[in-house]
Amino acid sequence: MRVAVITGGVGGARFLRGLQALTHTPQWTDLSITAIANIGDDITLHDLRICPDLDTVMYTLGGGIDNERGWGRTDETFTVHSELTAYGAGPAWFGLGDRDLATHLIRTQMLNAGYALSDVTAALCKRWDIGIELLPMSNDRIETHVTVDHDGERKAMHFQQWWLEHKAEIPAQSFAFVGADTATAAPGVIAALSEADAIVLAPSNPVVSIAPVLAVPGIKEAVMQRPVVGVSPIIAGAAVRGYADACLRAIDVETDAAAVARHFGARAHGGLLNGWLVDDSDHEVCAALTDEGIVTKAVPLWMRDVPTASAMAEASLLLAQDLGA
Ligand code: FO1
């Protein structure tokens, strides 16, 4: 079974780790996985190109992730970061780890030498042996910027500044995926989607992780050609992590498993979804969503460890198969 997964960072990476683990079980030996990752979080700091969602997926599947933080490297130190801060060379709010810096140095050297981001990502992933194909949504530069009303004026700031310095506490007026409209999908992305038996929207932030990927010309159209199952990133009315509630509020969507499904829309009515997984605690929404054309199942969605992530990943595949994948 060929699966293409659209993913952001932490939640999507943990989901992918569970999905990849299935390939070692007898009934899923034929499972092949391509992850198409958001690059809207990317930022250039100290002349280094940093790709948080690509790195979080790579480290999580490669065993290098700090599981507590969900991002960056295990056994990490921040000596260079504190030295930079001592020089006043900010931003202090972006925690650049010493081990993590090696990834950014290699990536920046390769980009400067003319390699495409997808080639750089493949090269970095060789070390980590992640067991799936990891593609950036595009090799073009795309960055998510957030428009806010701050100090009496409307201004845009980089997503990371809004997320880390301001902790999403300044209400977002809008999100712009700068560069997306003129970007091209990275090599292999459209093929992975078109040839997939099923496409899964990982339990990532719908607004700043899934949406930027779908904003790259051609990607949403390719997704719409195949069975699509989404996994709710919202459990019992709350974001599992991060500030998805602040992002959803900005686009007038309730922080609710059913509201996010309706936001993506039912394929039968021109939307994305054929199927949707919600947590057991949200089981009461299944009947209504199914009646609206989004076949919805309730399963445990808390990813406590790899086995629980594998169980929910398997549920997404089985639902896709029920839907004709
Ligand atoms: N997230 C944080 O909450 N604090 C940080 O200091 C931080 C640094 C950081 C460095 C490299 C990297 O790849 C990711 C990092 N993240 C950090 C996560 C990053 O902000 C993610 O983009 C968001 O968590 C949203 O996915």
Ligand 1 in contact with 100 (CB < 6 A)?
A: yes
290 CA → ligand 1 middle, Å: 36
Closest atom of ligand 1 relative to the 51 alpha carbon = 13
By alpha-carbon position, which residue is closest to atom 9 of ligand 1?
95
The answer to whether 22 and 28 have CB atoms below 8 angstroms apart is yes
* Residue spans of beta strands (DSSP E) within the chain: 2-7, 32-37, 43-45, 48-50, 133-136, 143-150, 153-158, 172-178, 198-201, 228-231, 234-235, 238-239, 275-279, 295-299
Domain range holding 128?
Answer: 2-139+181-322
CA–CA distance, 74 with 192 (Å, rounded to integer): 31
Written as one string, the DSSP assignment of 266-300 is BGGGTSSBSEEEEEGGGGGGHHHHHHTT-EEEEE-
Closest atom of ligand 1 relative to the 50 alpha carbon = 13
CA–CA distance, 230 with 232 (Å, rounded to integer): 6
Q: Would residue 249 count as lying in a domain?
A: yes
Q: Would residue 202 count as lying in a domain?
A: yes
Q: Would residue 190 count as lying in a domain?
A: yes
Name the residue of 71, 108, 213 to mutate for ligand 1: max ligand atoms within 8 A of Cβ: 71
Structural tokens at position 197: 């038996």
By alpha-carbon position, which residue is closest to atom 8 of ligand 1?
95
Structural domain total, the chain: 1
By alpha-carbon position, which residue is closest to atom 21 of ligand 1?
52
171 CA → ligand 1 middle, Å: 20
The answer to whether the predicted template modeling score (pTM) of the entire model surpasses 0.75 is: yes
By alpha-carbon position, which residue is closest to atom 2 of ligand 1?
164
Name the residue of 68, 158, 164 to mutate for ligand 1: max ligand atoms within 8 A of Cβ: 164
Whichever domain contains 211, its CATH number is 3.40.50.10680
Closest atom of ligand 1 relative to the 242 alpha carbon = 24
Q: Would residue 276 count as lying in a domain?
A: yes
In tens digits, what is the pLDDT along the chain, a chain of 325 residues? 999 999 999 999 999 999 999 999 999 999 999 999 999 999 999 999 999 999 999 999 999 999 999 999 999 999 999 999 999 998 999 999 999 999 999 999 999 999 999 999 999 999 999 999 999 999 999 999 999 998 889 999 999 999 999 999 999 999 999 999 999 999 999 999 999 999 999 999 999 999 999 999 999 999 999 999 999 999 999 998 889 999 999 999 999 999 999 999 999 999 999 999 999 999 999 999 999 999 999 999 999 999 999 999 999 999 999 998 8
CB-based burial label for 245 (10 Å; 0-12, 13-18, 19+): middle
Q: Would residue 144 count as lying in a domain?
A: no
305 CA → ligand 1 middle, Å: 21
Taking residue 252's Cβ as centre, other Cβ atoms within 10 Å add up to: 8
Q: Would residue 107 count as lying in a domain?
A: yes
Q: Would residue 168 count as lying in a domain?
A: no
By alpha-carbon position, which residue is closest to atom 26 of ligand 1?
9
